[in-house]
Amino acid sequence: MQTLEGTIVEKEGGLRASFQGAERPYVRATISRLDAPEVMRHARIYDVTELAQQVGDQISLEVLRVTTDRKTGTVWFDCKLL
């Protein structure tokens, strides 16, 4: 199991997307890694509409899938809360 742990830099809740064949709620967040704070990761956290954690709080996620947006080159980590 791959995990992503870090500090929430920004978040946007109340989003919906098709994931694994079903429309599901998610929160889009930018996470600063604990082991390398200068490294930012873009995460989509599925099956939640809002996060209880605030910007500046630490979060632990299980990575379900990693995808790259070919147009922008952005790497997205599709995750769920641990």
pTM of the model: 0.88
- List per-residue pLDDT tens for the chain, 82 residues long: 899 999 999 999 999 988 778 899 999 999 999 999 999 999 999 999 999 999 999 999 999 999 998 999 889 999 999 9
> Domain limits at 10?
3-81
Number of domains making up the chain = 1
CATH code, domain with 13? 2.40.50.140
What per-residue confidence (pLDDT) applies to 19?
A: 78
**3-class DSSP state of 21:** coil
Cβ neighbour number for residue 6 with a 10 Å cutoff: 22
Q: How far apart are CA 10 and CA 26, in angstroms?
A: 14
Mean pLDDT of all residues belonging to the chain: 94
Residue with tokens 């099956």: 47
